[in-house]
Amino acid sequence: MTSAPLLIELLTEELPPKALRALGEAFAAAIANGLRERGLAAADTAVTSFATPRRLAVLLAAVASQAEDRVIEVRGPSIKVALDDAGEPTKALIKWSEKQGVAIADLTRGNDGRQECFVATRIAAGAQLRQCIDELLAEALARLPIPKLMQYQLADGQTSVSFVRPAHGLVVLHGSELIPATVLGIKSGRSTRGHRFQSQGPIVIDDAASYEATLRERARVIASFETRRALIKEELLAAAARVGATLGEHAPVAALLDEVAALVEWPAVYTGDFDREFLAVPQECLILTMRTNQKYFPLFDADGKLQASFLIVSNLELADPAQVIDGNERVVRPRLADARFFYEQDRRKSLASRVAALAGVVYHAKLGSQAERCERVGKIALGIATALGIDAAPVSRAALLAKTDLLTGMVGEFPELQGIMGAYYARHDGEPEAVASAIEEHYRPRFAGDALAQTDAGLVLAMADKLETLAGLFSIGQLPSGDRDPFALRRHALGVIRMLIERELALPLDELLAGAFAAFPAALPSALDELTNFFYDRLSGYLRERGFSAQEIGAVIDSRPALLAEVLPKLDAVRRFQQLPEAEALAAANKRTGNILRKSADGAAVALNPALLAEPAEIALAQCVATLAPRVDERMRMMDYAGALALMADARDDVDRFFEQVMVMAPQTEIRANRLALLRQVSELMNRVADISRLSNS
């Protein structure tokens, strides 16, 4: 048995760029896992993934040519079943031993966890790399997250295979040794192809460990996706710095970096320019045109204003890139001209004049047109504005116009600009700034981590828009299922949760949902309950992402608090309470109290009668509750939840003595009911902020 680096490379036609990174990582992981499962690679073996537009590859630092033999033990029939009264083998034992291929004399005795039994032991030969490589490759390809399979014929003109793109080469090297393998109709060799334009002929790989260096030095290919991406980023930042510019916001730049790294094998960055007259067009239009259509990186000044320059990531490194730059500048010019044309044409017709046409735009087959939707959003928004004491006029106007930019040429070309273009056109039409801002902001947050609407009208409209979507789709039973969420309902619910919590809005969730469903009188009977559950599930996820534990979250939200704005302060109070030395004892006592009260209906409708308190411990506890209650009330009025919970520490000794010295379930009905009534008061006092019984570890 020998151990050496193992290289596997699959050479293909251009792979889908948006899927390349995931394909490369999945290919490497599948090969590595397959080798580990067969005992050919250790769990800590270093694995390097490679992915370029025309290849998927993986290098494992140490892979055995053959795995060690394995001892396999199989437990069989019990001694009682396997031997007769005379101690001779029964038919059951004879048949089982023959099936295992082990003579009865070679069987041993063991235990199956219940009784003594016979055990067959045999040696299984370790897997051999040469023998299992084809199976390993087939398994790895089957596990790839391929967005869409492509069927094509092999060179024989008869055999058809399916893969993400046609494959043209396979390299499998164990050290310097070529391992014969076949996949997708291709036999393995030791040669690959380099850069499509700057490398000629086959490139021979002498040994697995030299693969990356060979491609870089002889083939003008940077095989590692991460190395290539880092190099592109470094060159982009340097090029931007040379002209005193920046690349703009991180998120879109990072996404575009992933894509361009999947389009080139030997990147080079060049700077191009466009006519400054195009800067009269809203910069969002130009940015999207350059990033989406051309894969260029627009440049910005220190204030985030678009410059008349952009960066090109080319697959050609040239001493004189003038032709490449000129070609890209000529290509981008008509794209920017199209954006200017749409912008100028759209402004010839006001948003208000487009409102009537929304009646002809289908929103959902069961929920009517966009005009009907805007009417519902307006009603929901009006209710929210009234509850918050916000001027309803800009909210109502923005609700009327919010979807009209869907009918414009610019949004038709770039749906990502909906809302953004509506705001530009509203300002051009002379609409109030509050209306224009609300039109743009009503889509926020658009994605995880996106900013919330900053204006009052925008916040109200954003909440109403999301609630209308949620209530409408839940009203017809269109719920998310598993990974499927075509209407982004999870994101909409999270958006509403963020608004309520992060803007500290005193809007009860139950009233919000009821108001939203009022716009859908024919909703399914179960819809409101289902949406309520959906919201609290989303709330739990939101709080987990903020670092709260399941115990803490359960203590605060299992009771379904209506005001989500109070959730974070209460969770912070719970955390501070847990630091108190009395916390665990009080949580355990509260849990015990809850269990007792759930098991008995006595005292449920009985008021505490002080005259029936006889035991010193119950008298002391009643006095403690009477003393603490007004102090807790005061803290709750001040929203000092931590202070309210801290007061509970004063009750620990009286609660402990009560349970030690008083029989709650006394035989006398009247006494038992009175003690249960006292416990009910204790429970209500302790759980004013949160259900602290959830914090008990007992």
Give tens-digit pLDDT for 617-643. 999 999 999 999 999 999 999 989 989
Looking at the structure, do residues 426 and 448 belong to the same domain, yes or no?
yes
Pairing verdict, β 368-369 and 362-364: antiparallel
Q: Could you give the CA distance from residue 618 to residue 430 in angstroms, rounded to a whole number?
A: 72
Q: Could you give the CA distance from residue 278 to residue 340 in angstroms, rounded to a whole number?
A: 7
Of 330, 346, 362, the residue at which a domain comes to its end is 346
> What secondary structure, in 3-state letters, does 259-316 show?
HHHCCCCCCEEEEEECCHHHHHCCHHHHHHHHHHHHCCEEEECCCCCEEEEEEEEECC
* Spatial CA neighbour of 679 closest among 614, 600, 611, 616: 600
In a domain, 555, yes or no: no
pLDDT recorded at residue 531: 97
Looking at the structure, do residues 12 and 154 belong to the same domain, yes or no?
yes
Would you place residue 234 in the very low, low, confident or very high pLDDT band (cuts 50, 70, 90)? very high
Looking at the structure, do residues 432 and 508 belong to the same domain, yes or no?
yes
- Number of domains present in the structure of the chain: 5
**153 beta partners:** 160
pLDDT recorded at residue 605: 64
Looking at the structure, do residues 298 and 364 belong to the same domain, yes or no?
no
Sequence letter at residue 339: A
pLDDT recorded at residue 694: 85
Give 224's contacts (C-beta < 8 A, 6+ positions apart).
48, 49, 50, 212
Return left, alpha or beta for 315; rule: phi > 0 is left, psi -120 to 50 is alpha, else beta: alpha
Q: What is the mean pLDDT of residues 388-393?
A: 95
Q: What is the mean pLDDT of residues 196-201?
A: 89
In a domain, 553, yes or no: no
Q: What is the mean pLDDT of residues 155-181?
A: 93
Does the structure show a pLDDT above 60 at 175? yes
> Is the bond preceding 432 in cis, omega lying within 30 degrees of 0?
no
Q: What is the mean pLDDT of residues 254-280?
A: 96
- Alpha-helical regions (H) of 49-183: 79-82, 91-100, 129-142
Looking at the structure, do residues 457 and 541 belong to the same domain, yes or no?
yes
Does the structure show a pLDDT above 70 at 1? no
Would you place residue 601 in the very low, low, confident or very high pLDDT band (cuts 50, 70, 90)? low
* Spatial CA neighbour of 297 closest among 244, 225, 249, 352: 249
The more confident residue out of 683 and 382 is 382
- For every residue of 423-435, DSSP letters joined together read HHHHHHHT--HHH
Looking at the structure, do residues 105 and 134 belong to the same domain, yes or no?
no
Instruction: Measure the CA angle with vertex 408, ends 402 and 413; round to 5°.
Output: 115
- Grouping H, G, I as helix, E, B as strand and the rest as coil, residue 78 is strand
Distances (CA, A) of 666 to 264, 331, 455, 501, 670: 82, 90, 61, 46, 9
- How many Cα atoms are found within 13 Å in the side-chain-facing hemisphere of 484? 4
Backbone angles phi, psi at 220, to 5 degrees: 55, 50
Domain of 672, in residue numbers: 573-695
Would you place residue 604 in the very low, low, confident or very high pLDDT band (cuts 50, 70, 90)? low
Looking at the structure, do residues 446 and 584 belong to the same domain, yes or no?
no
Contact 340, 346 (CB under 8 A): no
pLDDT recorded at residue 30: 97
pLDDT recorded at residue 481: 86
* Spatial CA neighbour of 587 closest among 657, 661, 675, 690: 690
- Exposure of 363 by Cβ count < 10 A (0-12 exposed, 13-18 middle, 19+ buried)? buried
Looking at the structure, do residues 385 and 470 belong to the same domain, yes or no?
yes
Q: Could you give the CA distance from residue 492 to residue 420 in angstroms, rounded to a whole number?
A: 19
Does the structure show a pLDDT above 90 at 101? no
Give 58's contacts (C-beta < 8 A, 6+ positions apart).
7, 8, 27, 28, 31, 32, 47, 48, 49, 50
Q: Could you give the CA distance from residue 121 to residue 340 in angstroms, rounded to a whole number?
A: 79
As given in the structure block, the two tokens for residue 262 are: 């999947």
Sequence letter at residue 541: G
pTM across the whole model = 0.80
Give tens-digit pLDDT for 533-542. 999 999 999 9
Q: What is the mean pLDDT of residues 469-496?
A: 93
Q: CA 453: distance to chain centroid? A: 22
Q: Could you give the CA distance from residue 667 to residue 415 in angstroms, rounded to a whole number?
A: 73
Does the structure show a pLDDT above 70 at 308? yes
pLDDT recorded at residue 374: 97
Looking at the structure, do residues 530 and 404 belong to the same domain, yes or no?
yes
* Spatial CA neighbour of 605 closest among 655, 695, 674, 658: 674
In a domain, 496, yes or no: yes
The more confident residue out of 206 and 582 is 206
DSSP helix, strand, coil percent of the chain (3-state; round to 5):
55, 15, 30
Quickly count helices (H) and strands (E) in the chain. 25, 19
Does the structure show a pLDDT above 60 at 132? yes
Looking at the structure, do residues 299 and 328 belong to the same domain, yes or no?
yes
Average pLDDT, the chain: 93
Would you place residue 600 in the very low, low, confident or very high pLDDT band (cuts 50, 70, 90)? confident
In a domain, 303, yes or no: yes
Radius of gyration of the chain (CA): 35
Q: Could you give the CA distance from residue 40 to residue 28 in angstroms, rounded to a whole number?
A: 15
Does the structure show a pLDDT above 80 at 689? yes
CATH code of residue 391: 1.10.3210
pLDDT recorded at residue 578: 87
Does the structure show a pLDDT above 90 at 70? no
Q: What is the mean pLDDT of residues 489-507?
A: 96
In a domain, 557, yes or no: no
- Exposure of 513 by Cβ count < 10 A (0-12 exposed, 13-18 middle, 19+ buried)? buried
Looking at the structure, do residues 234 and 136 belong to the same domain, yes or no?
no
Q: Could you give the CA distance from residue 447 to residue 463 in angstroms, rounded to a whole number?
A: 15
Distances (CA, A) of 35 to 40, 67, 215, 235, 615: 5, 10, 25, 38, 72
Secondary structure E strands in 27-115: 47-52, 55-64, 70-78, 108-111
Q: Could you give the CA distance from residue 674 to residue 666 in angstroms, rounded to a whole number?
A: 10
In a domain, 552, yes or no: no
Would you place residue 591 in the very low, low, confident or very high pLDDT band (cuts 50, 70, 90)? confident
Query: Which of 62-71, 312-321, 423-432, 514-523 is least confident?
Result: 62-71
Looking at the structure, do residues 487 and 512 belong to the same domain, yes or no?
yes
Q: What is the mean pLDDT of residues 127-148?
A: 94
Does the structure show a pLDDT above 70 at 135? yes
* Spatial CA neighbour of 435 closest among 422, 418, 450: 422
pLDDT recorded at residue 594: 84
How many residues can be counted in the chain?
Answer: 698
- Grouping H, G, I as helix, E, B as strand and the rest as coil, residue 692 is helix
Would you place residue 577 in the very low, low, confident or very high pLDDT band (cuts 50, 70, 90)? confident
Q: Could you give the CA distance from residue 215 to residue 212 in angstroms, rounded to a whole number?
A: 5
As given in the structure block, the two tokens for residue 133 are: 């490589």
Q: What is the mean pLDDT of residues 643-660?
A: 89
pLDDT recorded at residue 664: 87
In a domain, 609, yes or no: yes
Would you place residue 461 in the very low, low, confident or very high pLDDT band (cuts 50, 70, 90)? very high
* Spatial CA neighbour of 317 closest among 212, 203, 216: 216
Would you place residue 239 in the very low, low, confident or very high pLDDT band (cuts 50, 70, 90)? very high
Would you place residue 602 in the very low, low, confident or very high pLDDT band (cuts 50, 70, 90)? low
CATH code of residue 39: 3.30.70
In a domain, 681, yes or no: yes
CATH code of residue 617: 1.10.730
The more confident residue out of 156 and 252 is 252
* Spatial CA neighbour of 347 closest among 423, 274, 275: 423
